[in-house]
Chain A
C-alpha cells in the first residue's frame, strides 16, 4: 500500500512565524504535490515537484515556498505565516504523469493566530 505521511495533523502558529510542513512518501513516486483545502473553495494546488530539486508553481504559490532535496520528501514552507494561511494542507504523490492516481496524506490542519 502507498503511504503518504505528514509531519503534523494539527498545528497552531502565530502570525509572522516560519512554518515547515513535511511530507514523506514511501513508494518511490516521482511527483509530489502540496494543496490547501478551504470550505467553498475546494482543493487548490500550491506547488508541485516532478523530480528531486525541481519545483513548479501551482495556482496559489504566493506566500509559500517548497523544498525537495530527496525523492521521498517534499516540504512546504510558510516564510512568514499570516492568518489567511489558516487552512487544511494536503500533500499528495503520484508515480509519474498526471494520468496516474494521486495518493494523499492525512492532511495538516494549520491555525495561524
Chain B
C-alpha cells in the first residue's frame, strides 16, 4: 500500500466552482500534514498545513480525519490561477522526511 494516495485527476472545473481533493495515508503514527501546490515546471510550495481541528485560509479549507487517515482540501470560488497540481504531504515515521502523494491536477477554465 502506498504511503500517501491521491486521486490524480485531472479535475476540470469552471471558474467559481467549488472543488474538493482527498488524500489517504497509511502510517497511523504520522503527526504532520500539509498541502503543497506545484505549478507546471516549477518547484512545490507550501499551500497550507493541516491541523487536527481543521483550518481555513481564505478560499482554502483543509480537514484531517485521523480515525480514517484521511485529509481533504476544499477550494471555493475557483480562480484560473488555482490551476496547478496539489500535493498531499505526510511526515514519515523517522520524523525527518516527508512522504509526498503523486498529486492531483486541477484545471480551472473560463
Tell me, yes or no, whether A43 is within 8 Å of chain B by CB: yes
The reply to whether A98 and B92 form a contact with Cβ atoms under 8 Å apart is yes
Considering only CB atoms and an 8 Å cut-off, how many residues of chain A contact the other chain?
A: 23
Tell me which residues across on chain B come within 8 A of A107, comparing CB atoms.
42-43
Q: Given A45-B97, A97-B96, A105-B43, list of 7 further CB < 8 A pairs?
A: A31-B96, A42-B87, A42-B100, A42-B103, A50-B96, A98-B94, A106-B42
Tell me, yes or no, whether B31 is within 8 Å of chain A by CB: yes
> Max chain A CB contacts within 10 Å: which of B45, B97, B103?
B97
Cα distance, A53 to B45, chains bound together (Å): 27
The reply to whether B44 and A90 form a contact with Cβ atoms under 8 Å apart is yes
Tell me which residues across on chain B come within 8 A of A101, comparing CB atoms.
34, 46, 49
Tell me, yes or no, whether B98 is within 8 Å of chain A by CB: yes
Chain A residues engaging chain B, CB cutoff 8 angstroms: 31, 33, 35, 40-43, 45, 48, 50, 56, 58, 90, 97-99, 101-107
Cα distance, A50 to B96, chains bound together (Å): 8
Question: Which chain B residues in 54-88 approach chain A with CB under 8 Å?
Answer: 87
B102 interface neighbour in A33, A42, A48, A99, Cβ under 8 Å: A42
Tell me which residues across on chain B come within 8 A of A40, comparing CB atoms.
102
Tell me the nearest residue of chain A to B6, going by C-beta.
Answer: A42
A43 interface neighbour in B31, B34, B100, Cβ under 8 Å: B100
Cα distance, A61 to B55, chains bound together (Å): 36
Tell me which residues across on chain B come within 8 A of A102, comparing CB atoms.
46, 98
The reply to whether B97 and A104 form a contact with Cβ atoms under 8 Å apart is no
A104 interface neighbour in B32, B43, B95, B101, Cβ under 8 Å: B43
Given the known A-B contacts A42-B103, A43-B87, A99-B31, are A106 and B96 also in contact in the complex, defined by CB atoms under 8 Å? no
Tell me, yes or no, whether B24 is within 8 Å of chain A by CB: no
The reply to whether A56 and B43 form a contact with Cβ atoms under 8 Å apart is no
Tell me the nearest residue of chain A to B42, going by C-beta.
Answer: A106
Minimum CB–CB distance from A1 to chain B (whole Å) comes to: 12
Tell me the nearest residue of chain B to A96, going by C-beta.
Answer: B96
Given the known A-B contacts A42-B103, A43-B87, are A98 and B43 also in contact in the complex, defined by CB atoms under 8 Å? no
